[in-house]
Structure 1
Amino acid sequence: MGRYLDKDLLRGFDSYKYSSLDTSPFSNYVMHPFWNWFLKLVPKNIAANTLTFVGFLLLPVSFIILSYYDYDFSKNSNIPRWVWLMCAFNNFMSHTLDGIDGKQARRTNTSSVLGELFDHGLDAWSTSFFAMAIFDIFGRGEWGASSIHLLMVLNAIQCTFIFSHWEKYNTGVLYLPWAYDLALVGMTLAYALTYLFGVEVWQYDIYYEGQRYTVGFLLECLLYISNYAMSVPVCIFNVLLSYKNGTGKMLPFTESIRPLIPIVLFFPLITLWGAYSQTGILESHPRCFFLLSSVLFASITTRMIVNQMSGTRAQAFNWLLIPLIIFTPICTLYNVDVYEVYILYTYTGFATLAHIDYGQCTVKEIADYLNINVFSIAKRPAKDKRI
């Protein structure tokens, strides 16, 4: 028995079959042909998981460098032009490697449940890095948004991601959103334009019937419409349709919504802390606050994906939320002065290390169970008996 996955859960992976549906014209007629061409440049001895992991690492690299030059999202005009070019490259390569990892697995005949879990588990974290990239370009203040607005944008993007996987938990099919590839390509273009023309290219107003609107505000509204009025309702509709047609897992209602319980707890608490902190912690330390949000979200979502793929019951609570439950009322009702900063950074560091530990242990446990290598296509010696 491993540290996180018991025998019954591991055995559940034996019967798992990957099923997805991508009906996006942009993905099918633009991105996939490009990825098929790019794949020819990749040596066959490189494991698909290596591509996945390298693509993910490019995003925190951009995050760290941007943090060095503009820690609180208020000095993006001071960021050197070469940083934006690097971010464009990192974003492009991350998206590309994420697009070809599955193709490389099939090309090398190394497809496995581990590869999908590895891919989607890292996607659960990288989603937040993509969101924070938007904040770096627009920043805060006159041309950007307040920190609480940025947190709400992050919540909206995270909400769409987890609802897509909740949809799969109930239907068995991952319906890939049309906007996903478009958004990532758009992000690369935004970085490139910022490199060519500076952040000033986004700093202009739009007037309508005498009202002044910033570009950042309009994009924020567009994002809310895309996520809350389109993507999430479609996920719910697909789940309801699967139950009506008898094609879903036909779980009882309480079991079907069980994976959402931790997220229903997480979103209000993280928003309350950020909005009503007595010391204004979100305004003074936004990047760390967003990083904490991204780690907690990734932890919740990755566990749900593990349960979905193994056919086991979803967890109704994530223990990493315990400090959030304790600290939110304390920091919103009382002015704990500088101690709130210590709380935030300690909690972020602890949650990050805990999530990394869960990820690497889970990957190792599944790899040992399947008797495969994580970052190599070389075969392991056959085992006489599995777990």
Structure 2
Amino acid sequence: MNAPATLPAFASPADNPDELRLEFSGSGGAYFKIWIVNLLLSILTLGIYSAWAKVRRERYFLGNTLLDGSAFDYHADPVKILKGRLLVMAAIVVANIAVEFNPLLNLVVMLVFAVLLPWMISRALRFRAHNTSWRGLRFGFDGLAWGAAKAWVLWPIAGVLTAGLLLPVALAKQRRYLMNHLRFGQAPFEIDLPVGAVYRVFGRVLLLSIAVFGLLGLVAALLIGSVDFFAASGLDPSSRGAAIGLTIFTAVVVFYLGLALIAPYVSAHLSNLTFNHSNLGEHGFLADLAPGRYVFIVLTNWLLTALTLGLYRPFAAVRLWRYRVEHLAVLPAAPLDDFVAAQEEEARVIGEEAADLLDVDLGF
């Protein structure tokens, strides 16, 4: 599917007085009640209730996400989700038992998983799209396993083999696979994502990484210098060992913290690029996430969740979702009521069964 040369999403928000901002009407307190019940029932049922918990969670977040005054909806059947999860768990258990009898089977299991992964990805995306709707009109996804294999297996392998040089290409291929096979009713989404823009994001990440890990080196040098200073002053061996241990611990914490902060920074940039280069029919999109603000929200969510022993987690989820939703807008070329009036054709029974076969939430 080829995107048009000029997409409506390229228009400036100042030139679009009719832009429709998405809104979120939920609250952390309301979701906390759902989250705590989901958690307790999932524990009491040894995880069986987790399928119903997922449906309740998705319905809360989508049901409170509004576009042009109308909420989204989630229609998944928790029984079908449970069947899919039990099937996956059974496969994992059988694979682990087989490996115990013959370690060489581990290689076979890995190969089988690599072959099945693209199929699972395409089915998962189809499942989520099929079970999401707006104003009664469902989304759809028609990507095939081979396309997923190229986007999620072959290109990432190429990225690793080239020491990361082709990873931006892999990410661009994944975004194209997602958007170019997604539809709303019968209207297809299209994306014209330039790879050069993704490379520019990674250029910023490289500079950010140099700054973060440069700071890491400075902290480590200062700590090591302090150890040497106290050693020269007659620090006893046990205290010297504790100081060296503290140095190593600090270095590891800063290293992983740097990696953890880079991920949401890249995520915010890629979200902006994806939507700002996509369209749905004649309608465009505008995403204006601020990467620095996004990283701050993620970081403070982690901190508050840790300080409250996990109790802040539902508030963190709402806070992050609200920020993502409220920094996304639709740039309509015409009234959306007219667009929705072209209703989706009835899905074939075989298509519905295939869509409901497996649930793996990849979150795109």
Q: TM-score, normalised by structure 2?
A: 0.31
Give me the TM-score of the superposition, normalised by structure 1. Answer: 0.30
| Larger helix fraction of residues | 1
Structure with max Cα Rg: 2
Greater strand percent: which structure?
2
